[in-house]
Amino acid sequence: MIEVRFHGRGGQGAVTAVRILASALYLEGKYTQAIPMYGTERRGAPVVAFLRIGESRINERDLVHNPDIVVVLDPLLSRTVPVTEGLKEGGLIVMNFPKPGTEAGIGGRFMLATVDATGIALEALGRPITNTAMLGAFAKASGLVSLESLEKTLLEHWPGRLGEMNLRALRTAYERVTPPVDVSGIQAQEKRPREEIFSKDVSSWRIFKPQLDEDRCVGCRRCYIYCPEVAISMIQGKARVDYSSCKGCGICGEECPTGAISMVQEAL
C-alpha cells in the first residue's frame, strides 16, 4: 500500500485533487481511500488531505502519519508547516516551487520534484488554483497514475470550458515538472519559531501582495473600508498596508478607483 499526504491552503483545491486522483486510480483497477481533513476552513489557511492506494481492499481508517509521498500545493507553506514530518526514508515530495528542488530549502533522505504550478495555473486558469497542475506533476514524478486516467476523471468532474482549462494546467505541469532529485545533502531552512507561526501574522498565506503607488492614492478610503482583514490604515490621507495582517485577497486592488494598488507575486 502507498500512502500520500497533500498539503495546501484553503481555496487551492487540495481536497478536490485527492478525490480526482482517487477516482483516476480506481479506473486503473486500484483500491483507493481519500480522506479530507478540515480545520479552520478559511481561505488561505493550511489544509491537509490524505490518500491511500492499494492492490487489495484497504481496511485502515486513520489519518496518514508516515506517507510515502507528500504533495505541496503552495510554495511558501513549507516555511511554517512541517510538510516533511513522518515522510518515509527514500520517499518523494512533489512541490509547487518555480526553481529546482535543490533550491527549495527542504532537505532530508528523500527525493524532491518541483514544478511552477502557480505560474501554470495563472496561464491556464487566470487564478492561482494549483490542484490540477499538481496532479499532472504527481503523475509524471511518481509514475503511479496515467495522464489519460487523470484527464478522463477531470473532464467528468468539470465538463465543458472549465474542464478544458484545467486539462491544460494538468498537461502543462506533466511536461514541465523537474525529475526528482536527491536532497539528502541539502541543509533545510530554519523553521519560524512556534510562537511566531501561531501569532496573528498571516503573511505566509499570500501568493500575491498589494503594492501601493502613493502618487495615485487620493485617500478615498475604499481600500480601508473593504479590507476584510483590517490590514489597511490611513496615515496622513494615504493608505498603508500592514503586511503581517494581509492575506493577499486582492479586494483592495479591485476597489481602488484610481489604480493605485496593484497585486504583485510574492518573491520566493
SS3 content of the chain, % helix, strand, coil (to 5): 30, 20, 45
* Residue-level pLDDT at 41: 54
The alpha carbon of residue 66 and the mean position of all alpha carbons in its chain are separated, in whole angstroms, by: 20
Q: How far apart are CA 230 and CA 220, in angstroms?
A: 16
Higher pLDDT residue, 100 or 10?
Answer: 100
95 close to 112: Cβ distance less than 8 angstroms: yes
Higher pLDDT residue, 41 or 136?
Answer: 136
Q: How far apart are CA 28 and CA 32, in angstroms?
A: 11
- CATH fold, domain 2-182, is Pyruvate-ferredoxin Oxidoreductase; domain 3 (3.40.920)
Q: What is the pLDDT of residues 144-202, one digit of tens each?
A: 999 999 999 999 999 999 999 999 999 999 999 999 999 987 766 555 554 444 446 77
pLDDT exceeds 80 at position 73: yes
Residue spans per domain, the chain = 2-182, 200-265
Residue 105 CB contacts under 8 Å (≥ 6 apart), including other chains: 78, 79, 188, 189
The letter for the amino acid at 93 is I
144: its cell numbers:
503511479
pTM for this predicted structure: 0.79
For the residues of 160-216, what is the DSSP string, one character each? Answer: SHHHHHHHHHHHHHHHHPPPPEE-TTPPPPPPPPHHHHTSS--GGG-SEEEEE-TTT
| Angle, vertex CA 49, rays to CA 188 and CA 82, nearest 5 | 20
Average pLDDT over residues 51-65: 91
246: its cell numbers:
494581509
Q: What is the pLDDT of residues 10-39, one digit of tens each?
A: 888 899 999 999 999 999 999 999 988 765
What torsion, rounded to 10 degrees, do the Cα atoms 244, 101, 265, 234 define? 10
Mean pLDDT of the chain: 89
- CATH fold, domain 200-265, is Alpha-Beta Plaits (3.30.70)
